[in-house]
Amino acid sequence: MPMVLAVAEVADKGLRRVSHEVTGQAHLLSEAMGGQVTALVITGSAGSVDAGELGAYGADQVLLAADQVLAAFQGDQYAEVVKAAIGQCGAAVVLFPATAAGRELAPRVAAAMDAVLASDCIAIGWQEGGVTAQKPLYAGKVIADVALSGELQIASLRPGLFPAQACRPGWSAPVTALALPPLTARAHLREVRGGDANRLDVSEADVILCGGRGMRAPENFALLEELAAMLGGAVGATRAVVDAGWRPHSEQIGQTGKVVSPSLYIMCGASGSIQHWAGMSGSRCIVAINKDPNAPIMQRADYSITGDLFEVLPALKQEIARLRG
Amino acid sequence: MKILVCIKQVPDTEALLRIAADQTTLSDAGVKYILNPYDEYALEEALRIKEAVPGTVIRAITLGPARCAEVLRTAAAMGADEVLHLRADEIPLDGLASARALARVAAEYTPDLILLGKESIDDGNMQVGPMLAELLGLPCITVVTRLTLSAGSLTAECERDDGTAIFEAPLPAVVTCQKGLSEPRYPSIRGKMAAMKMAIPEQPAGVSAGKIRITRLTPPPARAGGKRVGEGAAAVPELVHLLHSEARVI
């Protein structure tokens, strides 16, 4: 029976949402293939995560790789673990989340196993014995339908895009400890710094407040921070703002930044260049607030308000607070 | 010290891309090509190392059709000492096919350091760097925003979801470069003039058939024209109402 391996990702608070997304897609794929799903959970300590929970999202069994060395992501050791898991479950297809870690891990495994890899896919399927996928090119200016071939086929899935709903609520999958291979490293991780566990990355946020040059000064981003906090979202930035040093590059959205697809994208004081649009046009609902009614973003947004954002944003904060009662 | 910088030619980010009649390729007509922006950081980093470590030689290589020679001229104009064009009819979408061709050259050249951009902005694959390292059995540090070399080893800071990771690795190693490293320099006029006239050595890339095939290209779904809610703070209650009850996003 063909096996699909779903590689989960663990953070401080347990399994990341992307683990559910990837396991869910692995489940749909395994149904089309007439196969099964093994989920792989890699963690620093077995007790820190409920790996069996992935059963509810479609995993038929779970392999658990737990070792102190695996507490933080390290490409060398993690790749050894994934290769061992592929061997143990006999996977024909492997799905990774296209997170920062997944995007380093998947190509390492693909090269080591002589396998094809489709990166950052936005749809995935099975046709005539091979994986099919949709993959944005040029940051989404073009969408490619692709067909993979070969004995082992690998894809990474864009985070935040696929549903993370349980298909078998409450069902816990049997968990087996993976016999760990030697975890040797060519590069040595010395430290992981400054990760604010409460800070939501734009690539995972369901609401994004994005500021452009129209924010006028770095301190004015506090307005967006406050709104983001109220809406459970994250602050994003245009390239101009990042180039000016107002915001870190990790917040940059666009063709030379991150590509995002939140439910709600609120664009404040930016015109919406073609490069920026490429990074956020997949958002479900786009709101633009801009002084210039003729800015490109004002033509393309779902809702737009023409006006001074230093008047509109405080009013927005107040109105949302009222709505939330 | 020998540094190999792998660079790629990509369509300009301003380019309006048209899908060709065969629906599986893009029309070349009117497309302006540029050096992949992240590869500029890789080149700049190599140049800074060269300035700090006397005797350093920088070799830039690219893989692709004739038009790609242009990025090697840009690299030479910026200050690369040697260039090599690996000729192929097209740049494969399968990262492993490219990585194999680059690995063959790297194995022969035996660089102390291999630098690449963290990704190319055309296919956005982020594959070739880690694949190249894996094929060569070298340490690999990805998405690096700060790089320090000392005798026979490197320290690198990389950007990732859980914060900034600091890695140490012995040389030779593969490093993929992210914005945050030093801003790339503009080529000097003199450098540009010299690069324009230089001969670009080339050899066949020997790219194998990839295992990923494009069956169809489509434009992204069009967005319907939006609603102009109004002007200034007065329009905010209506906006919030629409977001809540029409779009249902708050």
Task: Give backbone dihedrals phi and psi of B22, rounded to 5 degrees, phi first.
Answer: -75, -5
User: pTM score > 0.90 for this model?
Assistant: yes
Integer Cα distance of B132 and B138 in angstroms: 8
Strand partners, A303: A287, B227
Cβ contact (<8 Å) for B225 and A299? yes
Every domain of chain A with CATH number 3.40.50.1220 lies at 207-324
Supply the DSSP string of A66-124, one letter for each residue: E-GGGSS--HHHHHHHHHHHHHHHTEEEEEEE-SHHHHHHHHHHHHHTT-EEEEEESEE
Task: Give backbone dihedrals phi and psi of B121, rounded to 5 degrees, phi first.
Answer: -85, 5
Average pLDDT over residues A231-256: 93
Judged against a pLDDT cut of 90, whether residue A9 lies above it is answered with yes
B45 min Cα distance to partner chain A (Å)? 18
Rg of chain B on CA atoms, in Å: 22
CATH architecture of the domain covering A207-324: 3-Layer(aba) Sandwich (3.40)
Please, which pLDDT band fits residue A297 given cuts at 50, 70 and 90?
A: very high
Q: Which of the two residues, B34 and A12, has the higher pLDDT score?
A: B34
Q: Which residue of A has its CA nearest to B10?
A: A138
**Superfamily designation of domain B2-204:** HUPs (3.40.50.620)
pLDDT in tens, B195-231: 999 999 999 999 998 999 999 999 988 877 789 999 9
Selected for mutation to probe chain A from B159, B164, B236, B238 (highest A CB count within 10 Å) is: B236
Do residues A159 and A38 make contact, with C-beta atoms less than 8 angstroms apart? no
pLDDT in tens, A202-218: 888 899 999 999 999 99
Average pLDDT over residues B89-110: 96
Cβ contact (<8 Å) for B231 and A307? yes
Please, which pLDDT band fits residue A196 given cuts at 50, 70 and 90?
A: low
Do residues B217 and A142 make contact, with C-beta atoms less than 8 angstroms apart? yes
Vertex B37: Cα angle to B201 and A122 (nearest 5) = 115
Q: What is the pLDDT of residue A188?
A: 97
Mean pLDDT taken over chain A: 94
Interface of B with A in 181-220 (CB under 8 A): 210-220
Judged against a pLDDT cut of 80, whether residue B89 lies above it is answered with yes
Vertex A20: Cα angle to A14 and A26 (nearest 5) = 135
Judged against a pLDDT cut of 70, whether residue A198 lies above it is answered with no
ipTM reported for the complex, 2 dp:
0.94
Scored b (16 or more CB within 10 A) or e, A122-161 reads bebbbeeebbbbbbbbbbbbbbbbbbbebebbbbbbbbbb
For residue B243, what is the DSSP state?
I
Cβ contact (<8 Å) for A110 and B127? yes
pLDDT in tens, A102-136: 999 999 999 999 999 999 999 999 998 899 999 99
- Among the CATH numbers 3.20.20.70, 3.40.50.620, 2.60.40.1250, 3.40.50.1110, which is that of A3-177? 3.40.50.620
Cβ contact (<8 Å) for B96 and A281? no
Do residues A139 and A275 make contact, with C-beta atoms less than 8 angstroms apart? yes
Rg of chain A on CA atoms, in Å: 21
Please state which of the ranges A196-205, B137-146, B148-157 shows the lowest mean pLDDT. A196-205
Please, which pLDDT band fits residue B28 given cuts at 50, 70 and 90?
A: confident
Q: Does B228 touch chain A (CB under 8 A)?
A: yes
Q: What is the pLDDT of residue A197?
A: 60
Cβ contact (<8 Å) for A138 and B122? yes
Strand partners, B164: A193, B159
Every domain of chain A with CATH number 3.40.50.620 lies at 3-177
Average pLDDT over residues A44-52: 93
pLDDT in tens, A59-85: 999 999 999 999 999 999 999 999 999
Judged against a pLDDT cut of 70, whether residue A292 lies above it is answered with yes
CB atoms within 10 A of CB B45: 23
pLDDT in tens, A246-271: 998 889 999 888 989 899 999 999 99
Mean pLDDT taken over chain B: 95
